[in-house]
Amino acid sequence: MNYHILAKTELDGFIKKLSKKMKVCAPVKKGHDNFAFEEVASAGEIALNYIPTILPPKKYFMPPREKLLDFDLSGEKPKDAANLDAEKLAIFGVHTCDLAGIQCLNMVFSEKPRDYNYIMRKENILIIGLECNAYCDGHASCALVGNHYPNGGYDLFFTDLGDRFIIHVNTQAGEELVEGMGLAKAGSADMAALDFVREGKRSAFQNEIGVDPKSLPAIFEKAGESKVWAELGSRCVSCGNCTNVCPTCYCFDMADTINLDMKTGFRTRTWDSCQFETFAEVAGGENFRKERGARQRHRFFRKFKYPLEKFYRSFCTGCGRCTRTCMAKINLKDTLKALAAEAK
Amino acid sequence: MTEEIKHSNWKLRKGQIIAAKQMTATEKWFDIKLEDGRLDHEPGQFVQVELYGIGEAPISICSSPTKRGSFELTVRAAGRLTKAMHALDKGDWVGIRGPFGKPFPVKVMTGNDLLFVAGGLGIAPLRSLINYVIDNRREFGKVDILLGCKSPSDMLFGDEVAAWQKRLDVEFACTVDRKDPDWKGNVGLITSLLPGVTITPEKTFAVVVGPPIMYKFVIAELLKKNLPERQIILSLERHMKCGMGKCGHCQIDHPKNYYCCKDGPTFTYEEVKAAKKL
């Protein structure tokens, strides 16, 4: 195990040195209780104690709007090219819930046929995680899905030990970075302090819904006809906020744009939402998920049911963003509790 | 820093329309040749057709792979892209991705009797299989084709249908929901043709393609004839936007997490009977 130490007073130097090598993005405060990943040049800009950002770091891996193709129609037959603008980037301060989210997306886009737009962006991104020593707020359910501790998915991982950070080095790229910065190796006192933090979390983070996570597959097996969905549907306004802020929602739509010269143009993909009424509609007019309740059921199934068989994990990372952002106060924890109560 | 994505699955093959024909008021037929070779599809698959500047839509391939050199599409002007596509003609270029999707299980069906049931535009994907079977006729047992459409003027592939009707190695029947003065054939829903067909349930595959409402009634009739669920093959309609099992639009509400573009569009009834909607 390879651990290094960075004094908190040295964080500014760390960020400044890193930003000379590549663009650095980190959580920045955006008004009351709101944070966003943005480019930073110094530690002073970073909100180290932040609740999950408005958008998860997926925006760097799969931008809300992304060009897939450039095309040129000026010749006798059309020409097109697939180009990518992906700069080298370090994301600092990624919480364990969001690390899990990135791992989910990595699996989705690496599955054949592969999405090289995503994969090439990912290869250009260095990930520096940051441990949550306490809950962000009451909406998180990271302990339920086991994401309150780090489960890989980072190059470097920072844990706050009061006056210093202990850094776990997980990859060669991470190793080269800390070597280049000349950071000291962690000693036995540092390791004991890390153990103390982790031990403290064991009691601080508890299953947030009081339902055994192992029973969730069985609960969702029975949830197809649940009354809960109609109730959610009666409140949902189909705004799509929950899917936009979700670290593992990746559904998209595509569209063409013609430039003003009327000869060249481009094809883009944009985030889409299964909560929108037209999402499952076909040209003939048939809509396979017309009811809002059916669309909410679909969203929950895509977190707690379908991915279990395909990717061997829940696609809910426990970040709590969907609950925080919902205008109709649809609450993920309450929904799971209601489904569990009904399944009894 | 701009990099070329060498292996991008979003790149388009260039297809030139070598023939086009308005078939009905709403359907137009296109014969397309790829500049870089064959499409090399199998019956039941689909392609994504790109009209540069307008967008892309999934379209069933309606020709059999036994027809080499080019492939055919029959397009109903139903949405934004398909309406624009109706303005295209011989010589025009389109972008093509694919073929995509799981084809009809031709190998499993070989040696068995076949019952084709097509409703409306369902004849388009089914024609890729019917013509494949006719071109390989001796590999199969008895072949029945049942065809239904709204009115005689909505009939697609009229000349070809007339040829099927004349063939001695194929049983053919068709019906229309509404007749016109010249129509001398059957009038009624496609289910009205099923009682007239005799099947041997243990060695018959029924391939049914049509609108969702048709599936419900046709499948019920076939089950009444004791046809096993795994011998009823369907082709489901969803809006496959990416064709690669990612964009999420074509996912079927089914416990098995089926994507219509990758796991389908062809399914056995046994596979998809647990779906909320077919």
Q: How many Cα atoms are found within 13 Å in the side-chain-facing hemisphere of A265?
A: 19
Window A:232-251, CB contacts with B under 8 Å: 250-251
The pLDDT value given to residue B278: 87
A77·B245 Cβ contact <8 A: no
b vs e for B186-219, b when ≥16 Cβ sit within 10 Å of the residue's Cβ? beebbbebbeebebeeeebbbbbbbeeebbeebb
Q: Alpha-carbon distance A275 to A325, whole Å?
A: 14
Assess whether B207 and B90 both reside in one domain. no
Q: Are residues B113 and B229 in the same domain?
A: yes
Short-list B97, B239, B37, B46, CA closest to A82? B97
272-291 of A, contacting B, C-beta below 8 A: 272, 274, 279-284, 286, 288-289
Residue B236 pLDDT > 80, yes or no? Answer: yes
Given B99, B123, B152, the domain boundary residue is B99
Q: Are A132 and A116 in contact (CB under 8 A)?
A: no
Check if the beta carbon of residue B117 is closer than 8 Å to that of residue B209.
yes
**Contact state of B8 with A68 under an 8 Å Cβ cutoff:** yes
Residues B19, B57 within the same domain: yes
Partners of B248 on chain A (C-beta within 8 Å) are 250-252, 272, 274, 279, 302
Q: E strand or H helix at B48, and its extent?
A: strand B46-51
* pLDDT (0 to 100) of residue A1: 66
Cα distances (angstroms) measured from residue A288 to each of B233, B242, B251 = 20, 18, 10
Q: Which of A256, A264, A308 to mutate to test the interface with B (most CBs of B within 10 A)?
A: A256
| Selection from A4, A18, A88, A65 nearest residue A46 by Cα | A18
Strands B186-187 and B204-209: unpaired
Phi first, then psi: what are they for A211, rounded to 5°? -120, 130
Beta bridge partners of residue B173, listed in sequence order: B146
For chain B, say whether A163 makes contact (Cβ under 8 Å): no
pLDDT at B1 over 80: no
Q: Which of A142, A200, A209, A133 is nearest to A165 (CA)?
A: A133
Q: Which residue, chain included where needed, has tokens 């279990």? A: A308
A212-225 mean pLDDT: 93
Closest C-alpha to A72, from B52, B61, B265:
B52
Q: Is the same domain home to B130 and B219?
A: yes
Q: Which of B99, B117, B142 is the last residue of a domain?
A: B99
* A301-317: burial string, b at 16+ Cβ within 10 Å, e else: bbbbbbbbeeeebbbbb
List Cβ neighbours of B159 (8 Å cut-off, separation of 6 or more).
none
Q: How confident is the model at residue B277 (pLDDT cuts 50, 70, 90)?
A: confident
Nearest in space to A47 (alpha carbons), one of A38, A57, A56: A38
Q: Which residues contact B18 (CB under 8 A, 6 or more apart)?
A: B31, B32, B33, B70, B90
Q: Is the pLDDT at B147 greater than 80, yes or no?
A: yes
B190/A227 Cα distance (integer angstroms): 37
- Check whether residue B91 and residue B191 sit in a common domain: no
Question: What is the percentage of chain B residues whose pLDDT exceeds 90?
Answer: 90
Q: What pLDDT was estimated at residue A195?
A: 96
Sign of CA dihedral A220, A222, A227, A230: positive
Same domain, B116 and B196: yes
Residue of chain B whose Cα is closest to the Cα of A112: B244
Beta pairing partners, B98: none
Q: How many angstroms separate the CA of residue A266 from the nearest CA in chain B?
A: 7
Q: Are residues B156 and B41 in the same domain?
A: no
Contact B244 A251 (CB under 8 A): no
Q: How far is A75 from chain B (nearest CA, A)?
A: 11
B34 closest CA partner among B125, B81, B96: B96
Q: Structural domain of residue B197, as residue ranges? A: 106-235
**Which residues in chain A touch residue B239, judged by CB atoms under 8 angstroms apart?**
280-283
Question: Cβ of A216: how many Cβ atoms within 10 Å?
Answer: 23
Q: Is residue B135 part of a domain?
A: yes
B24-72 pLDDT, tens per residue? 999 999 999 999 999 999 999 999 999 999 999 999 999 999 999 999 9
Q: How many other C-beta atoms are found inside a 10 Å radius of the C-beta of residue A112? A: 9
Distance from C-alpha of A152 to C-alpha of A146, rounded to nearest angstrom: 12
Kindly list the residues from chain B whose CB atom is less than 8 angstroms away from the CB atom of residue A310. Answer: 257
**A172-181 helix and A11-21 helix, angle to the nearest 10 degrees:** 120
CB A126 within 8 A of CB A177: yes
Task: State how far Cα A67 lies from the chain centre.
Answer: 21
CB–CB contact A256 B54 (8 Å):
yes
Question: For residue B10, which of B48, B51, B36, B40 has the smallest C-alpha distance?
Answer: B48
Domain end point (choices B56, B78, B99): B99
Q: Determine whether the interchain pair B257/A310 forms a contact, defined as Cβ–Cβ distance below 8 Å.
A: yes
Q: Tell the burial category of B253 from Cβ atoms under 10 Å away from its Cβ (0-12, 13-18, 19+).
A: middle
Same domain, B54 and B94: yes
Among all residues of chain B, which has the CA nearest to that of A285? Answer: B78
Cα dihedral A155→A270→A303→A124 (10° resolution): -10
C-alpha neighbours within 13 Å on the C-beta side of residue B160: 15
**Residue A259 contacts B where some CB pair is shorter than 8 Å:** no
CB contact under 8 Å between B76 and A283, yes or no, is: yes
| Contact with chain B for residue A114, Cβ under 8 A | yes
Residue to mutate among A121, A259, A282, with most B CBs inside 10 A, is A282
Q: Do A252 and B253 touch (CB under 8 A)?
A: no
Say yes or no: B79 and B143 in one domain. no
Rounded Cα distance, B276 and B278, in Å: 7
* Among B241, B48, B125, residue whose Cα is nearest residue A278: B241
Q: Are both B110 and B64 inside the same structural domain?
A: no
Can you tell me the distance from the alpha carbon of B69 to that of B71, in angstroms, rounded to the nearest whole number? Answer: 7
Asked whether the beta carbons of residue A255 and residue B55 sit closer than 8 angstroms, the reply is yes
pLDDT tens by residue, A117-156 = 999 999 999 999 999 999 999 999 999 999 999 999 999 9
Q: Per the structure block, which two tokens stand in for B94?
A: 């389109």
CB pair distance less than 8 Å for B247 and A310: no
CA of A68 vs chain B CAs: smallest distance (Å): 7
**B50 contacts B96 by C-beta, under 8 angstroms:** yes
In terms of domains, do B163 and B57 share one?
no
Asked if B10 lies within 8 A of A267 by C-beta distance, the reply is yes
Tokens representing A131 are 């441990």
- In this predicted model, what pLDDT tens digit does every residue of B175-227 receive, in sequence order? 999 989 988 889 999 999 999 899 999 999 999 999 988 999 999 999 999 99
pLDDT digits (tens, 9 = 90+) for A80-113: 999 998 899 999 999 999 999 999 999 999 999 9
Angle subtended at Cα A109 by Cα B105 and Cα B6, rounded to the nearest 5 degrees:
95
Q: CA–CA separation, A113 vs B243, rounded Å? A: 9
* B83-92 tens-digit pLDDT: 999 999 999 9
**Span A234-262, pLDDT tens digits:** 999 999 999 999 999 999 999 999 999 99
Find the mean pLDDT for residues A35-40. 98
Q: Using the beta-carbon criterion (under 8 Å), do B3 and A83 form an inter-chain contact?
A: yes
Average pLDDT, chain A: 95
User: Across the interface, do A298 and B253 touch by the CB < 8 Å criterion?
Assistant: yes
A77 touches chain B (CB under 8 A): yes
**A residues 179-198 closer than 8 Å to B (CB):** none
Contact A217, A301 (CB under 8 A): no
Q: Which string of DSSP letters, residue by residue, matches A18-62?
A: HHHHSEEEEEEE-STT-EEEEE-SSGGG--SS----SS-THHHHS
Instruction: Please give the single-letter amino acid code of residue A177.
Output: L
CB–CB of A79/B11 below 8 Å?
Answer: no
Question: B32: which chain A residues are within 8 Å (Cβ-Cβ)?
Answer: none
pLDDT 10s digits, B92-138: 999 999 999 999 999 999 999 999 999 999 999 999 999 999 999 99
Task: State how far the alpha carbon of A194 is from the alpha carbons of A6, A162, A177, B186, in Å.
Answer: 14, 11, 21, 81
* Mutation site, A83, A124, A267, A288, interface B, largest B CB count within 10 A: A288
Q: Which two tokens stand for residue B43?
A: 């019956």
Contact in structure between B51 and B41 (CB atoms under 8 Å): no
- Output the CA angle A168-A199-A191, nearest 5 degrees: 40
Q: Domains in chain B: how many in total?
A: 2
pLDDT mean across residues, chain B: 95
pLDDT digits (tens, 9 = 90+) for A155-190: 999 999 999 999 999 999 999 999 999 999 999 999
C-beta separation of A40 from A26 below 8 A = yes
Domain locations along chain A: 3-61+84-204, 213-343
pLDDT of A285 reads: 86
Contact predicate A306/A250, CB 8 Å: no
User: Is the pLDDT score of B173 beyond 90?
Assistant: yes
Is B251 part of any domain?
Answer: no
Whether residues B110 and B94 fall in one domain: no
Q: Does A225 touch chain B (CB under 8 A)?
A: no
- What is the CATH classification number for the domain harbouring B188? 3.40.50.80
Residue A194 has pLDDT above 90, yes or no: yes
